[in-house]
Structure 1
C-alpha cells in the first residue's frame, strides 16, 4: 500500500491518494475490524477483496495520524444514508473514494466533506447517463464539446455530483438534476435543496492524479427548510 499526501489541498481539506494494488503492511491490515473483514469476504474476486482491504487499512492509518487514536481503536458509525463517521472524534470529517486501483481520502476539520475519484476511460453510455443525472445546462455544455473532450468532461461532472452528495451524506435521495456543478473543473459554491432544507457547499476539482479525475466538496452551511424558502429581501434581488 502506497499513500501519498497531495499538495495544496483546497477548502481546508487534506487529501491523500492510495495505490490499492500495493501490498499493505501486515500491521495496517491487522487493525481492520471484524465488520470490515466481513465486508471484505463478500467480494467474489481476490483483486477486489485485496483493494478493499488496502483502502480501509489506509483510511485507518490516515485517520489515526490525524486524530491521535491508534488505528485499531477507531470506531465508525453510519449516518441515516450510510455515510461513516468517527465515533471517538466527531469533529474530524472524512471521506473515501476509489476507482479500480486508485483511492482518494479526504479529511477536514472544518465541515462535512465528500470526495470522488474516477479513472479517465471511454464512456460509450455518457449521453444516456447524462440524460438521467445531469441538468439541462450540463447536458448542453457536454454536447457542445468536441467528441474527444466529452469523456473527460462527463467524468468531471460525475465526480462533482458524487462529491457533493457524499459531503451532504444524503446519497441518491436527492435528484442530481436538481443542482448544478458544471462540466469543467472550476471552483464554485453549490446549493442543494433537500427535504430538510438547503446545503451550501464549496466544490473543487483537480485532474491528472494517475490519470484520474477527482472532486472534493465541503459543506459550508445547512439552512433549515423555513430559512431556505424565506422571501428575499429587496437588497437580495438582482435586477
Structure 2
C-alpha cells in the first residue's frame, strides 16, 4: 500500500465491502489473535462472521502499513470502556466500525478518533427510538423531514452521535443526547456536547461512502481537517474512493468566566440565523443556552 499516506499529514477514512474481499478472508483469519479467533468462532451466521473478518482485514492491513510491521504482529489493548488502542503506539490513533456488509476505519496521527457506519434500510428507522434517545431539537428536525428521507436522516443523527461519543473515549457509557446537532445544508451545528469534551476543540463530519451507506467521523483536535477517503481491495491495495460529503462541523470551547464552574452546564449561544427555520420551535431554554456557532 505505497499509495497510503501516513497519519500526521492527514487523517484517513478507509472502508471496505465484505463481498469485495471475500477471497481475502482466510488470510485475514490467519492474522487474528487468540481473542479475535475465539470471537470469530462464536458467530452463528456466516454473514456475521464474514463481516467480522472483513473488518479485521481492514484494521490489521491498514494499521500494519502505518506501523511498519506485519499484520499478525499487531497487538491491541482496550480502555475501561472497551475502546481499542494499538499497544506501544499511542500516536497511531484509530477507530473501527462495521455494519452488515461493510466496515470503516478512521486513523489520524495522535487525535482521539471515532467513526460509525450504518446501512440505509427503508422503513427500519424507529420513531420511538428517536423519541426516547434523541435531543428534542433533533426529533423536531426528523418530524419535519419528508417520509422518504426519514431513514437516512435518522442514521445521520445516529452515526454522528456514535462517532463523537466514541472519539470522547467512553462510547455509549454516555447517553446518546450527550451530543446533539442539527443539519443545515452542508453544515452541522452542535447543540450539546459531552461535559468531558466541553473544554476541548473537536471536529466531525459525515460522508456517503455509497448510496446505501451513511458514515460519520469525529476527531478530538483543533485542526478541523477532514479525512481523505480510501477503499480497501481484496489484494490489500488501497485506492482513493469517491464519496458524497454530507456535512461537517466543529466545536470550539469559549473561555469560561470561572475555571471552577462545572463544565457542560451551559453552552455558548448559537447563531440562530445559521439554523433551519425549525429553530423557532425549540424550547426557550435551548435558544438561550444552546450552542456554539461554527
TM-score (norm 2): 0.68
CA offset digits 1:97-144 (Å, max 9, x no partner): 111111111101040101001111124453111112211111111111
C-alpha distance in structure 1 between counterparts of 2:151 and 2:34, whole Å: 39
Range with greater deviation from structure 2 (122-131 or 29-38):
122-131
**In structure 2, C-alpha distance between the alignment counterparts of 1:129 and 1:198, rounded to whole Å:** 30
The alpha carbon displacement at 1:12 in A equals: 3.8
Change (3 A) 1:57 1:120: same
Of 27-36 and 58-67, more deviation after overlay is shown by 27-36
Where does structure 1 lack aligned partners over 5 or more consecutive residues?
none
Tell me how large the CA RMSD over aligned residues is.
3.3
Alpha carbons 2:95, 2:106 under 8 Å: kept: yes
- In the other structure, the counterpart of 2:227 is none
Structure 2 residue runs without a partner (length 5+): 223-252, 271-287, 289-294
Aligned match of 1:14:
12
Contact 2:182–2:189 (Cα < 8 Å) also in 1 = no
Q: Report what 2:235 is aligned to.
A: none
Deviations 1:142-163 (A, max 9, x none): 1111111111111101000010
Change (3 A) 1:25 1:117: closer
Matches within 5 A, 1:4-153: 12-21=10-19, 22-23=21-22, 24=24, 26-153=26-153
Query: What SS is found at the alignment partner of 2:187?
Result: coil
TM-score after normalising by structure 1: 0.82
Whole-angstrom distance in 1 between the partners of 2:122 and 2:135: 21
Residues of 2 paired with 1:204 and 1:228: CA distance?
Answer: 31
Size of the alignment, in residue pairs? 227
